[in-house]
């Protein structure tokens, strides 16, 4: 089977392309720009076109017919490649359909990691521990890893570990063997306009899972203590001193991994020793509090809960944390602007605030300015900035003074910092 992935450099599509490649499919695809993911794919021998006007798809189809055109949910309905694929009679599908087919075809048990925050790190941690304990596993994670590819199919594996996100109702296409719910907090307002829409989707996901692991606070958030699902819940205030990772949210996510591993190892008649040791050796994932250099870190966080959690983790490492923050999506900023308070940023001694990174926007919606978004913050700690030489000089000054500098956002901030280091 020959598959063309549109948006192949994305954090959802890229790993799937690697999995399809491992599973024996003929894989190619396109993206608008080079990224860490496209570089990883090219290193594995996958042909990536850095153009999406349709000509790459046409040439590939003429050379050898494309069977499936797989695309990201972010692709607009009028996208040239999507329109051309339909004109050429190529089967089109979003990523969940292909993932479901691979899981079924290879007879894998799905271990799903879902939740509003912490999915990527928890998925990476679970993959890491499985590998350390000698259990072959296939997986898909929404970032690049420093200990393996973003997605992988391993022949002979029993499990498929999947970062099963709720955006576009993706997670409702699956019936997991085991689900880990990291957190629940209303998000993706374009897909779920109300809190009830959001919680209803999670309740449905729990009911579709054979078994789930969840925190008691998230059951309370669902307002459904008697939902028809098999789950184990845990008190978020429990003692976690045996987990040595930085950040309270990391330690809680690690506890879910621990409980999941106990179940997986038991059902395989495998000793459960060594789980804690493997967890505590976890090197982290890229763009999740990733160390780029001396006193310089990058994080994907762009929601207030993620911001607070990552700043708390940074303060465990340094007494002086400088945040360079790039808000993500104007449509999202209209929903969360009132949450930008001094309390939220209490662990940051100084903030450099960048303009919002625009993506999948409503053209009728006013673009909120940095001044509007920072109106509740102490102006003594906030500096409005641009990604330019002046900002980088300030970052270098802070690093040399012993401050921890944290670049945060899901847009272009990460690539910009990496490019500055390389020059």
Residue range 354-395, pLDDT digits in tens: 999 998 788 999 999 999 999 999 999 999 999 999 999 999
Within-domain flag for 355: yes
CATH number of the domain within which 133 lies: 3.40.1190.10
Say if residue 222 is in the same domain as residue 334. no
Say if residue 134 is in the same domain as residue 262. yes
CATH number of the domain within which 296 lies: 3.90.190.20
Q: Tell me if 219 sits within 8 A of 233, measured CB to CB.
A: yes
Say if residue 300 is in the same domain as residue 271. no
pLDDT at 43: 94
Within-domain flag for 222: yes
Say if residue 123 is in the same domain as residue 88. no
Within-domain flag for 285: no
Say if residue 317 is in the same domain as residue 222. no
Within-domain flag for 220: yes
Please state the rounded mean pLDDT for residues 170-194.
94
Give yes or no for residue 226 having a pLDDT over 80. no
Residue with the larger pLDDT of the pair 228 and 14: 14
Give yes or no for residue 182 having a pLDDT over 90. yes
Distance between CA atoms of residues 214 and 160, nearest Å? 20
Which of 94, 126, 143 is where one domain is finished? 94
Q: Which two tokens stand for residue 246?
A: 């930085």
pLDDT at 74: 78
Please state the rounded mean pLDDT for residues 43-58.
96
pLDDT at 109: 98
Q: What percent of the chain has pLDDT over 70?
A: 100
What does the DSSP assignment read for 281-350? T----TTSSEEEETTEEEE---SHHHHHHHHHHHHHH-S-EEEEE--B-HHHHHHHGGG--TTTTTT-SE
Within-domain flag for 99: no
DSSP SS3 for 398:
helix
Which of 280, 313, 344 is where one domain is finished? 280
H helix runs in 161-237, sequence order: 195-208, 216-222
Which of 45, 60, 94 is where one domain is finished? 94
Give the Cα-Cα-Cα angle 349, 352, 358 (nearest 5 degrees).
140
pLDDT at 423: 67
Dihedral sign (CA 357, 113, 337, 396): negative
Say if residue 189 is in the same domain as residue 88. no
Say if residue 306 is in the same domain as residue 240. no
Within-domain flag for 100: no
Q: Which two tokens stand for residue 372?
A: 């509007």
What spatial distance separates the first Cα and last Cα of the chain, rounded to whole Å?
42
Within-domain flag for 332: yes
Residue 418 neighbours by CB distance under 10 Å: 16
Say if residue 276 is in the same domain as residue 153. yes
Res. 67 pLDDT band, cuts 50 70 90: very high
Looking at residue 117, the DSSP 8-state letter turns out to be S
Q: Which domain holds residue 64?
A: 2-94
Give yes or no for residue 414 having a pLDDT over 80. yes
CATH number of the domain within which 89 lies: 3.40.50.720
Q: Which two tokens stand for residue 17?
A: 């392309």
Say if residue 110 is in the same domain as residue 231. yes
Say if residue 263 is in the same domain as residue 295. no
Say if residue 389 is in the same domain as residue 330. yes
Indicate the number of domains in the chain.
3
Say if residue 269 is in the same domain as residue 322. no
The average confidence (pLDDT) of the chain is: 94
Within-domain flag for 101: no
Residue range 309-332, pLDDT digits in tens: 999 999 999 999 999 999 999 999
């Amino acid at each position: 089977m020959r598959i063309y992935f549109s948006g192949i450099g994305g954090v959802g599509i890229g790993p799937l392309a690697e999995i399809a490649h491992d599973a024996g499919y003929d894989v190619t695809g396109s993206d608008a720009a080079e990224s860490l993911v496209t570089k990883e794919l090219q290193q594995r021998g996958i042909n990536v076109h850095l153009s999406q006007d349709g000509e790459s798809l046409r040439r590939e189809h003429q050379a050898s017919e494309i069977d499936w055109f797989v695309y990201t949910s972010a692709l607009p309905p009028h996208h040239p490649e999507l329109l051309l694929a339909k004109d050429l009679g190529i089967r089109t599908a979003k990523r969940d359909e292909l993932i479901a087919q691979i899981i079924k075809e290879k007879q894998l048990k799905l271990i799903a990691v879902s939740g509003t925050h912490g999915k990527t790190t928890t998925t990476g941690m679970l993959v890491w521990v499985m590998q350390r304990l000698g259990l072959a596993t296939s997986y898909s994670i929404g970032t690049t890893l420093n200990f393996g590819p973003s997605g992988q199919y391993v022949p002979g594996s029993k499990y498929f570990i999947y970062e099963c996100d709720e955006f576009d109702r993706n997670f409702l296409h699956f019936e997991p063997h085991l689900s880990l719910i990291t957190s629940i907090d209303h998000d993706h307002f374009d897909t779920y306009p109300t809190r009830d829409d959001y919680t209803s989707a999670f309740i449905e996901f729990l009911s579709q899972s054979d078994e789930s692991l969840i925190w008691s606070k998230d059951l309370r958030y669902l307002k459904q203590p008697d939902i028809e699902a098999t789950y184990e819940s845990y008190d978020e205030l429990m003692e976690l001193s045996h987990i040595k990772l930085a950040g309270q949210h990391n330690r809680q996510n690690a506890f879910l991994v621990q409980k999941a591993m106990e179940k997986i190892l038991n059902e395989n008649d495998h000793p459960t020793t060594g789980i804690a040791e493997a967890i505590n050796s976890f090197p982290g994932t890229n763009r999740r509090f990733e160390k780029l250099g001396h006193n310089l870190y990058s994080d994907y966080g762009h929601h207030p809960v993620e911001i607070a959690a990552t700043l708390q983790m940074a303060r465990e490492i340094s007494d002086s944390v400088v945040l360079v923050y790039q808000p993500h999506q104007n449509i999202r900023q209209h929903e969360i602007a009132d949450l930008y308070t001094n309390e939220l940023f209490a662990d940051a001694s100084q903030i450099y605030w960048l303009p919002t990174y625009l993506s999948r926007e409503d053209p009728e919606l006013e673009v909120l300015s940095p001044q509007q978004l920072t109106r509740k913050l102490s102006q003594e700690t906030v500096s409005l900035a641009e990604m330019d030489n002046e900002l980088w000089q300030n970052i270098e000054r802070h690093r040399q003074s012993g401050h921890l500098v944290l670049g945060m956002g899901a847009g272009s901030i990460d690539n910009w910092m990496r490019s500055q280091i390389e020059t």
